[in-house]
Structure 1
């Protein structure tokens, strides 16, 4: 199945060479990322950088995907099981929020470097999952709907954003009847 989709996935990924050599084994070793989603529509007004382009009003579909990093898994990968989870989470957050991630890894030594490298592996796999699976699947479905005449027009682009610095405080309710 993966090999049939490979040409389309590589076309979608374009110049992103990090995943050019993926194979069935890489895909089979992807860790679980996805923990849920929400969808909603937003009415928006968009303009372009040139004053001659018309203002566009449109309804936009927003899909928010929830991915959760497993700190225990990062600790195992970085051989840092004896370090505090707070310290590991802080290093991972530093890495994910950084603009020059490779520079952080190059400067780091010892345990910090191992944690940053584990965070990099997580981020690389997550990126492959988002673009190589979700976005690829979305694009092929849109293409099929257009080809079959179910939709008359397709969008020229899809925007993918992230909230790497969004903090979610997970509260575990102590009552036994909570679901």
Structure 2
């Protein structure tokens, strides 16, 4: 049951309870939009706003009048929205064992080295594109797919010596162009 409405412009605001019913009528929709920015869900925002008005009714007699009643109401809503988000986000993240990130950390994750590696990779790719398609395919099969020369020869239907020669030709060109950097 709602308390009897009392205007907020009373001579002594600390003595007059807040008119929660009027606050509900004037600010409910705005509060829902405000809370929805925190909860990211209309249904959750509606729940939080409902709890805001319940809390406002429960504490209306303690409103000190140090701010506008709407500011007080939005403060309650903000606190409840934050609590709601904290409570509901606690189970969103998977816990991992101690040391997990140390196990997956890339020891070579130096940004400068990664950038240099990407640049070198682009240059090597450009060099590879300059070779005839059969040589590129042979190099790809042996180096990128890590297939032994004998299996590559069967796959490509060429002699093993041809596979060795093609791969050697590419490696020599890379060494000639880039030296030890590649």
TM-score higher than 0.5: no
| Shorter-chain TM-score range | under 0.3
TM-score w.r.t. structure 2 length? 0.25
TM-score w.r.t. structure 1 length? 0.25
User: Larger relative contact order (C-alpha < 8 A, sep ≥ 6)?
Assistant: 1
Larger Rg: 2
